[in-house]
Structure 1
Amino acid sequence: MIEFKLEGGFIPLIQLLKATNLVQTGGEAQIVVTEGRVKYNGEVDFRKRLKVKAGDIVEFDGKKIRVK
């Protein structure tokens, strides 16, 4: 599991995927979200502008990110 320390109140989902190096570009991040390949707290989520907060868990490509 990847632990991501949040700076501030939230991070947009697209930026989180880039910051954890699970995707290379913002465009790639948007595509994987649109295709339904990302789970947010256990549920598939299609929102590209989703605000991820401390305590949330994001899953993509077999990897989990815990936001602290």
Structure 2
Amino acid sequence: MTPTAAAFRRRAEQCRRFADQLDLSADPSVPALRDMAAEYEAAARALETPVPRFIDGPLTLRDREPDRRSTLR
């Protein structure tokens, strides 16, 4: 089963709720829970970001850089 962005967001929300509950007791695991929530959010954003697709295949070095031979004359 592949995780979805919604599943990662639910996990992030759980981590934030746990951190908020523990924050009142100054528990040392609160920063770790907040970090985990941020990582889950980042994973959700990564899943939602469209992957660039190449129309005719990947670019070659020649496609990326201008031809400098004509300027060296």
TM tier, shorter chain?
under 0.3
**Higher RCO structure (Cα 8 Å, ≥6 apart):** 1
TM-score, L = length of structure 1:
0.24
Bigger Cα Rg: 2
Of Structure 1 and Structure 2, the greater helix share is in: 2
